[in-house]
Amino acid sequence: MPELPEVETTVRGLAPRVLGARICRVAVREPRLRWPIAPELADILAGAQVVNLGRRGKYLLLGCDRGTLIVHLGMSGSLRLVREEVAPTVHEHVDLILENGWVVRLRDPRRFGALLWAPEAPKSHPLLARLGPEPLEPGFNAQWLYRRTRGRKATIKQALMDGRLVAGLGNIYANEALFHAGIRPDTPAERLSRLRCARLVAAIKKTLRLAIRAGGSSLRDYVGSTGELGYFQLKLWVYDRAGMPCRACGTLIRVRRLGQRSSFYCPVCQR
């Protein structure tokens, strides 16, 4: 599932061919994503120049001379760069065809992704307006986490998945960061001490940076007819490892449902 590092890697992979390029047309083969693609989107984007490529949380922002295309990759989405002559396959729903002969192609088998148009500044778009700080920026720090979790009865795992506390942290990296911080995912958020908040913030930043670095090493395969950005897999310590021995202490990893999502933890390393 694409999370912040995958989106960041996608931004970096697209930039060399997409930044500054002009979109000559848009082909929508399947508009039924999480929200239907607006019928007028193709007309709006025809002739637009890409002047900016960025990311906010898990949203990829394709800034054009006339507004911003907000791309969310949902559960299974990916963007790749192919040459125009490469025929799309069954789950490749949308093409942004660039004047330079490259195509930005959206593949999304489960169709939980979204393509939304924001004519104004994207940060005021309803999906982005209430997002909390970027986890890799200085605004996300121990003091912020401590303050924002006081009086919060929810578990720390659920709090981390709430984009208003921190933007773009999904299930995989929330589980991994909690392991590295030595904190059980079902700890009530309000019970975390200042010290443990500091540890958790450091673990989140480190986990995401490592994942982005792993993604960067996959970038050389990004472009070309087989230009799929396979979602690189960072070495995972707890996520999806229920019943397997902890890589640190050998105890079997446990799993618990917290707010509909599986939380994996080591009962010895995490307290």
Cα 83 from Cα 167, distance rounded (Å): 33
Cα 29 from Cα 108, distance rounded (Å): 12
- From 20-28, 139-147, 168-176, 258-266, give the range in contact with Zn ion by CB under 5 A: 258-266
Q: Is 268 in the site for Zn ion (CB under 5 A)?
A: yes
The DSSP annotation for 101-147 comes to SEEEEEE-TT---EEEEESS-GGGSHHHHT----TTSTTSSHHHHHH
The nearest distance, CB 60 to Zn ion, in angstroms, is 35
Which H/E stretch holds residue 211?
helix 194-217
Greatest distance between any 2 Cα atoms in the chain:
58
Q: Is 248 in the site for Zn ion (CB under 5 A)?
A: yes
Q: Is 266 in the site for Zn ion (CB under 5 A)?
A: yes
- From 92-100, 101-109, 208-216, 240-248, give the range in contact with Zn ion by CB under 5 A: 240-248
Q: Is 211 in the site for Zn ion (CB under 5 A)?
A: no
Q: Is 249 in the site for Zn ion (CB under 5 A)?
A: yes
Q: Which is nearer to Zn ion, 208 or 246 (CB)?
A: 246
- Across the beta sheet with 78-83, the strand order is 23-28, 92-98, 102-107, 78-83
Q: Is 178 in the site for Zn ion (CB under 5 A)?
A: no
Residues with active-site annotation: 2-3, 58, 261
Chain residues 35-74 in contact with Zn ion, contact rule CB under 5 A: none
For Zn ion (CB under 5 A), the number of binding residues is 7
Q: Which is nearer to Zn ion, 116 or 246 (CB)?
A: 246
Q: Is 181 in the site for Zn ion (CB under 5 A)?
A: no
Phi, psi of 53 (to 5 degrees): -130, 125
The nearest distance, CB 233 to Zn ion, in angstroms, is 20
132 within 8 A of 147, measured Cβ to Cβ: no
- From 24-32, 100-108, 114-122, 244-252, give the range in contact with Zn ion by CB under 5 A: 244-252
Cα 73 from Cα 29, distance rounded (Å): 17
Q: Which is nearer to Zn ion, 230 or 267 (CB)?
A: 267
Q: How many Cα atoms sit within 13 Å of 8 on the Cβ side?
A: 22
Q: Which residues make up the interface to Zn ion (CB under 5 A)?
A: 246, 248-249, 251, 266, 268-269
